Amino acid sequence: MLGIDNRNAQDDVLVAAAVECGVKCRIDCRVSTLDSPFVEIVSNWMKGGTVNRLAPRWLAVFALGLCLAVGIAAVASPPSLSGRWVMLQVYPRIALVPMMGASTQTSYVIQQVDFEQDDLSLQMLVSYCFTIIEETSPLSTTEIPDAFMQSILPAPDTARLQEENGEFTFQQDTHLEIRGATLDRPETDDLPTEPDDPRVIDQDEDGLPGMTVNINLLGALEEQIYVVQRFQYELEGVVISPDRIEGLIDWTDEQVILAATNPMLLAGAESQPDPDPSKHVFIMLRAQEAWTCDWLRDHWREVFDLEMSNG
């Protein structure tokens, strides 16, 4: 009788562990994981968190082992993100225009991103497609030439995934670019202020100092400014699915106008990022074969499901 009692006690421990694991799995595991027919068998066996006390010991062992295996698989398997993606970044800013007051300017930046994944770690290689700028000021519009964007060749970035409350978060480390100049200490050196500063380079290769930006004044005058910039951002978001990531951008930028075709443009305009952080967003989508930069130029609004007034 003592041996039988001991065996029953051991069975009780196995059964209790199987029940606890089963209940936890019902709560924590993803629905797709619970679609397994084996889990359905165990779920039917553990109706309402109770177990048929007449079930043999091997079934309790099987249930416990299966439950643990399912739970581990559900928790430890990050989504597979390797391959080519396209990314939209939205940068809204508030500008103070002389005699006109505040106006808004929003930049929509389209990139191609190649991911290489090692479990929770990601290597990112970014290439720029184009930038579209929308402005509310009637005085001027800004155009970023293709040569500007294509001359920016970012170094590979790193990002990481982390599971939190049943979903995977995405975080990219700080990305820094110096445009139109070379600095010994990119994070802290002052930007050049004169076009003949030896640190200034003709990065977009148009024969002019720094980077060329096109400005249209009053809908009639086509002008240019020649700039150097320091630009950095961090991305933090959520993996919505293996084909979509979205989140917020934390960014800063700094610009110096080296020269301009119209002296009125040398002063520039004071501006700062829009104070509402929810407007600074990014969306990444797994790229389809047709989604080249040229194709996206005509279709990016519908691809990212955004509605803009113009641009």
* Residue that is last in its domain, among 30, 56, 76: 76
Asked whether residue 120 falls in the same domain as residue 44, the answer is no
Asked whether residue 254 falls in the same domain as residue 124, the answer is yes
Asked whether residue 177 falls in the same domain as residue 194, the answer is yes
Give the SS3 label for residue 65.
Answer: helix
User: 31-40, 120-129, 142-151, 199-208 — which is least confidently predicted?
Assistant: 31-40
Report pLDDT for 65: 56
> pLDDT confidence of 102, banded at 50, 70, 90?
confident
**Per-residue pLDDT reduced to its tens digit, 232-243:** 999 999 999 999
Spatial separation of the C-alpha atoms in residues 227 and 206, rounded to whole Å? 13
pLDDT at 296 over 90: yes
Q: Which residue has the higher pLDDT, 50 or 286?
A: 286
Query: Mean pLDDT score of the chain, rounded to an integer?
Result: 82
CA nearest 111: which of 82, 134, 131, 83?
Answer: 131
Asked whether residue 201 falls in the same domain as residue 157, the answer is yes
**Per-residue pLDDT reduced to its tens digit, 140-176:** 899 999 999 999 999 999 999 999 988 999 999 999 9
What pTM does this model have? 0.76
195 CB-contact burial (10 Å; exposed 0-12 / middle 13-18 / buried 19+): middle
Residue 143: inside a domain: yes
Residues 26-35: contacts with CB under 8 Å, at least 24 apart: 28/71, 28/74, 28/75, 28/166, 29/70, 29/71, 29/74, 30/74, 30/166, 33/70, 33/73, 33/74, 34/70
Asked whether residue 119 falls in the same domain as residue 260, the answer is yes
Determine which helix (DSSP H) or strand (DSSP E) holds 265, and give its type and residue range.
none
* Residue that is last in its domain, among 44, 76, 108: 76
Q: Are strands 211-217 and 83-97 parallel, antiparallel or unpaired?
A: unpaired
pLDDT at 27 over 50: no
Spatial separation of the C-alpha atoms in residues 70 and 34, rounded to whole Å? 8
Residue 309: inside a domain: no
> pLDDT confidence of 9, banded at 50, 70, 90?
low
Asked whether residue 132 falls in the same domain as residue 269, the answer is yes
* Residue that is last in its domain, among 23, 56, 76: 76
Q: Structural domain tally of the chain?
A: 2
pLDDT at 223 over 90: yes
Q: Which domain holds residue 9?
A: 2-76
Asked whether residue 42 falls in the same domain as residue 174, the answer is no
Asked whether residue 72 falls in the same domain as residue 88, the answer is no
> pLDDT confidence of 35, banded at 50, 70, 90?
very low
CA nearest 229: which of 149, 141, 128?
Answer: 149
pLDDT at 72 over 60: no
Residue 307: inside a domain: no
Asked whether residue 167 falls in the same domain as residue 275, the answer is yes
Asked whether residue 155 falls in the same domain as residue 134, the answer is yes
Asked whether residue 160 falls in the same domain as residue 264, the answer is yes
**Per-residue pLDDT reduced to its tens digit, 247-263:** 999 999 999 999 999 99
Residue 137: inside a domain: yes
